[in-house]
Chain A
Amino acid sequence: MFARRQRAVFAGSLIGLWLVFVIQAINTPVLLDDWYQLTYWRHHDFSLASLWEYGRYNYFNYNPRIGDVFLAMINGPPIVHIIVTPLVQLAVLPITFAIAFARWPRPTLADLWLLLLIQTLLWLVIPFPGVIYFYRPFATNYLWGFTITCALAVPYRLALAGNAAPSRPSALWAVPMMVLGWTAGMCNEHTGPAAMLAIAIFVWIAHRRRQLRAWMVGGALGLFIGYPMLFLAPGQSVRYAGLAVRNTPTVLLKTRGLDGCFEIVLDFLGNATFGIVFVAVAILFSLRGYRRAGERPPALPRQAVITATILLMTAGAILVTLFASPTAAERMFYAPGVLMVGAIVVVFAHLLAAPHGRRMIIVTAAVIFAFHVVRFVETYWSVKQENDDRIALLRATPKGEIAHVPPYSAHKRTRAHWGDDFRYASLREYVANEVFDLRDIAITRETRWSQPAPTDHYIATRIYDPPLPAEAAAAVAPLPYIPTYWEWTMVQFRRQLLTTELGDYQGHKLVRYTISAVGLPFVDPHQPARPVLVVDWTPRDSFQFVDGRPFDDKLGRPHIQIWHKSLPAAATEAYALDCGTTRPIALLDTDENDIGPIAPIDLACRGVHTLLVCEPTRCWLAGRYWK
């Protein structure tokens, strides 16, 4: 084919893919974490200052990853998402290509096939590709994040391979490279160490070859500043009620053990199965071609062997980092998946160079690619319709009422779609109150997968010094509602404390903030009945709460397990509130882990089951279990 025609096919293909991404961006539903960003933009104008404020608040008080700022950005005016996200998704291809081959793709059919393979293999290797690509929070935190990290590595890769344009670029490049490096460092906890190691090796090699440039140092410096900033961010210690502080890397490694770590590797490989099988089949087809032609397959070039091995080892390094990560969820397999794909295409480039099996590889990749495109477009088309209908219904519900919404027909999580986010009662309550000024949202059908809402609600009591009358105290920075979930009450309170005059009102200092549960079906044997506290805050002791979470023992029996450090020292008794009854129970020790005591829950009926732990003068809400 003539070069001009090849260029046209190349450009047309990329434009086609870009269009697919644009359609997907248009059809992206508002889902789960998106709602939190919508709340922010409900109260702020979209501007750089607002984004800065958002990022700053998050860094100190919530999710410090820069991906969350990107998420806020694309959850602003829709046009931002429609323009930026497809470009980032498209950028994955040349960047992965450059990492694998140490050069940019050229507008030829040969390189187009390699790009097709990269995209197809990515969709085959990464877990739930539709969710990682088209669910905004995952896209910005993982896809954008690792694309930025790889983009940082590309100039080093090109330079050290001798494919960089100028040998002495301006020292000014050091500044943007430093910014890029810092941004890459701020992207993800689990990819940072491998990225730092890779960039350090690049810099060391450049130094040894006397090719070290200011931009290289700048990029490395940025990364080495950004990652510790992310890892040690104040927000990490308060996010998820301090879960990250409790689960230190050593504790996690100990808890997981060899078994758990091996399980992470198996899980990654399990998710990559289709990709791995595709590779095996392609190699076997190619070998069959050689065999039929009576030829001996040529050896893989040394460069290709080394590149593929290094990429695989880097992917392995990221997986090893996950051994010590509090969450080793499937979405975190995106980064090692990209590197694995890089390694695979290096081998594939060699296979495609020979005629044997080439057609089979390309046709198969094209078919798999087309299947994914059709599946994604079709899924999001229908999901978007239902999402729009749901939002219209929520908007149409009178303020202060409970909205009843039907479940999504695609409520299950699949490789293409996250599923119905309103399965979480806390999210329903949040969206109802924060986004639509409703009292709550209920799903029209009782389903197995959706969390029932608790029947009680929370109230806040504020104590000031010098004292303020209760009504006056409640009127300071008034809250439209108190979330019925302790993690969210703390998030809400922390935000109010930092962004309003709640903590210091005209010289009156807030000295105690207490969240109590009312409306519980608790028949207190002590009279007068004791209050049920959920969270108690004072400036000196910060938050006090009982951290209890659902736990199933070895026999699969439901329990609530309490983190021993959060158990009140003066606790005298415990009660399970099951199916409208108050049942005194004993907290039991367990040898299954060393988190703390467990309390048996009797799942005699569907609904929310609550555990209370009581002191002589007050009780604490110590956890929930739902069915």
Chain B
Amino acid sequence: MTARQCAVGYLAATALAFAYVAFHTPPQGEDWLHLVWGAKNPASRFLIDHYTATDIIGYALAHSTALHTIATPLFATALVIGATTLALRRRVDLASWDDVGLIIVCGGLLWLATARLGVAWFHRPGAAASIYGLAFAVWAIAPLYCNWRLAWRGYALVMAVVGFVAASAARPVAIVLVIYAALAIQRSRQRTGWMVGLLIGLVGGALAVFLDRPGMDLAGFSEQIEGAINIGRETAEIISLVLVLTMARLVIVELRPRFAADCAPPDTSRALWWLLVWFVVGIVAIISPRFTEAGFAPPALVMTIAALPIFPWLMAVRPLRVLVLAIVVVAQLIGWTLSIARYRELADEYAGWLTAIDNTPVGGIVKLAPPRHVDADFFSFGGDWAEPAARQNAARWLFDRGDIVFTAAFKGFEASPELAIVLETADREALARAPARWPSVASAARADFDDFIDTLPEPDRFDGRLRVTNLTFAALAGRPVYVATSERGELAWHRVRRKRINDDYQITLEVRPDDLAAPFPETHLWVGDREVAEVIRDGGSFRVPLRSTARYVLVACDAARCFLVDAFRRQL
């Protein structure tokens, strides 16, 4: 067998395994947001709401299993080859056994270093950022880092696009790419068109990703600076592996010098810089909004690139060569085997859900068995459709059903508050266009109200209110309770943000903008049927103690009407 055959065999086998897993990956998490958006909005609005690579690619992957099955494995292959290219600082030579060995080591190290690899690689939104985004990132900087000469003038445009996609995929990567490219181009003696194109693309992508909502959460980070240890915990195992292997090499060479082949010292000239990049990328990942451990994929890739140049030196000693190859091959074999088994199971479960949906009459309530894997783990996303708004949006917009419920609760599951919401308006035309039924979850109803107004011929002149009809508490004294209103097209009470439960077991609900709440000085909270007076209010911010799984209903009122702040049934 030649080195090239081995390389092609390895890359084809991993791509096939990846394709199999991708094909069986069900839509989960943010995929539903993309799918629901697609069902609600005209295509003409696409670029208004989707301007980062993660959004655009995520949208495409959510809508096309074929794309995920065919393209994602190819980009994964490009990522592994790109990472090896950066480690070698030259093009990979598939005719060289050393280079092929390094590609296989790179694949293995990524398995070892990437926390929650399944979520980062196979889960479609994860793949959009961690496979596509990082593949574009490594190939965006490869020409600069390896001092390639790109003579064709069209490369300026190509690199601008590559740069935009790379930088707009993830904030941590964007920062590093822009800084590196700016420094490298500034130092370069020959500034050519593609370099400028790349920088423009990178800056544009970085702007797009940082303007995207939600914003960075620096407040949380300052309180948990020591949580930064997680960067290491999740991605620095490779350092330990390299140090242990280095120690083993020293011992072997000391005790059995005959095993040591003539080999140049390891090329560590860039390793310190890569470690710095690893740290920066990791820290920015932590302060990024909606951070999960899957967000450590970029630092894991950086760590892999930093470590790879040391492996030729380690593998020059025969026993270590065998050991290293055994470790990376076994890691990948185990990883792919377990992934294939897990995603077969997830695909079967999803097929069962779809059957249950098909068997439910249009407009009916779909009953599903709870997901088998509730906790997010190394391989998969965990329990989906835990939030009632997500279930209801999927049911209404994608499956034409009334709602989706689970036959048993599970960790993180939130039941629907079952609000009966109707539209009140004097505008008959609008009434005719309105959905027959509104969601029973306030956030979903507000979003639908917002979208509904956009569909009207004259949205700026629309007066209407979403009213809750099944709240009959005495303290309301007959006042109507609104979820959202539109006066002359101006929306009110359409944004309420829930914050994390604090140490005192209180949940904070913020009405934005907060001056909206000011004219409604009266506050009422019902837990089940009982009114409790334990809300701590600060302008448009309400803190509610959680003591029960009964339905919580929080309203703010003036003399004539009430607004629903939120209604929920959370687990404790």
Contacts and interface: CB of A to CB of B under 8 A. Distances in A.
Given A276-B243, A446-B545, A302 B505 contact: no
Nearest to B411: A556
A287 B247 contact: no
A448 B411 contact: no
Interface stretch (B37-45, B78-86, B265-273, B508-516): B265-273
Given A266-B237, A555-B411, A280 B243 contact: yes
Nearest to A302: B254
Contacts of A557: 408-411
Contact of B275 (A281, A300, A414): A281
B272 A281 contact: yes
Nearest to A607: B547
> What is the size category of the interface that chain A forms with chain B?
35 or more
Contact of A308 (B231, B247, B383, B504): B247
Contact of B251 (A277, A279, A309): A309
B237 A448 contact: no
A306 B229 contact: no
A296 B265 contact: yes
A285 B550 contact: no
A288 interface: yes
Given A284-B275, A312-B247, A273 B232 contact: yes
A579 B410 CA distance: 20
A265 to B, nearest CB: 9
A604 B550 contact: yes
Contacts of A272: 240
A526 interface: no
Interface string B520-562: 0000000000000000000000000111111000000000000
Interface string A544-574: 0000000010111100000000000000000
B236 A604 contact: no
A297 B265 contact: yes
Interface string B434-463: 000000000000000000000000000000
A547 to B, nearest CB: 25
Given A280-B243, A627-B572, A605 B272 contact: no
Nearest to A416: B226
Contacts of B504: 445-448
B503 interface: yes
Contact of B236 (A273, A445, A556): A273
A296 B548 CA distance: 68
Interface in B157-191: none
A449 interface: yes
B503 A448 contact: yes
Nearest to B550: A604
B502 interface: yes
Contacts of B265: 287, 296-297
Given A273-B233, A606-B546, 4 more contacts: A285-B272, A288-B268, A555-B408, A606-B548
A28 B419 CA distance: 54
Nearest to A288: B272
Contacts of A274: 229, 232
B505 A556 contact: no
Interface in B232-260: 232-234, 236-237, 239-240, 242-244, 247, 250-251, 254
B571 A448 contact: no
Given A274-B229, A302-B254, A555-B408, A606 B505 contact: yes
B505 A448 contact: yes
B488 interface: no
A379 to B, nearest CB: 12
A389 to B, nearest CB: 20
Contact of A276 (B240, B251, B375): B240
Given A446-B545, A448-B503, A309 B247 contact: yes
A274 B231 CA distance: 10
B499 interface: no
A554 B374 contact: yes
Contact of A447 (B236, B254, B373, B505): B505
B125 interface: no
A270 interface: yes
A604 B571 CA distance: 8
Contacts of A447: 503-505
A558 to B, nearest CB: 9
A284 B272 contact: yes
B501 interface: yes
Nearest to B548: A605
A603 B269 contact: no
A618 interface: no
A455 to B, nearest CB: 15
Interface of A: 266, 269-274, 276-277, 279-281, 284-285, 287-288, 291, 296-297, 299-300, 302, 305-306, 308-309, 312, 411, 414-415, 445-449, 552, 554-557, 579, 603-606, 627
A270 B550 CA distance: 40
A447 B545 CA distance: 10
Interface residues of B, number: 47
A490 to B, nearest CB: 30
Contacts of B502: 448
Nearest to A275: B232
Closest 4 CB pairs of A and B: A556-B411, A273-B232, A270-B233, A555-B410
Contacts of A285: 272
A552 B411 CA distance: 9
6 contacts: A271-B233, A276-B240, A276-B243, A414-B226, A555-B409, A556-B374
B29 interface: no
Interface centre among B272, B383, B412 (most CB of A within 10 A): B272
B374 A288 contact: no
Interface string B59-74: 0000000000000000
A306 B248 CA distance: 10
Contacts of B242: 280
Interface in B19-34: none
B497 interface: no
B501 A279 contact: no
Contacts of A302: 254
A603 B547 CA distance: 10
A448 B501 contact: yes
A577 B206 CA distance: 56
Given A287-B268, A448-B502, A604 B549 contact: yes
A277 B275 contact: yes
B292 to A, nearest CB: 17
B205 interface: no
B240 A269 contact: yes
Contacts of B226: 414-415
Nearest to A296: B265
A305 B254 contact: yes
B290 interface: no
B498 interface: no
A223 to B, nearest CB: 28
Contacts of A299: 250
A447 B247 CA distance: 48
Contact of B547 (A277, A281, A605): A605
B370 interface: yes
A82 B177 CA distance: 53
A305 B549 CA distance: 60
Contacts of B503: 411, 447-449
Which of A306, A414, A555, A556 has the most chain B CB within a 10 Å cutoff?
A: A555
In this complex, which of A271, A299, A308, A448 has the most chain B Cβ atoms within 10 angstroms of its Cβ?
A448
Contacts of B275: 277, 280-281, 284
B271 A555 contact: no
B433 interface: no
B90 interface: no
A447 B502 CA distance: 9
A16 B145 CA distance: 48
Contacts of A415: 226
Contacts of B372: 554
A270 B268 CA distance: 24
Contacts of B234: 270
Nearest to B275: A281
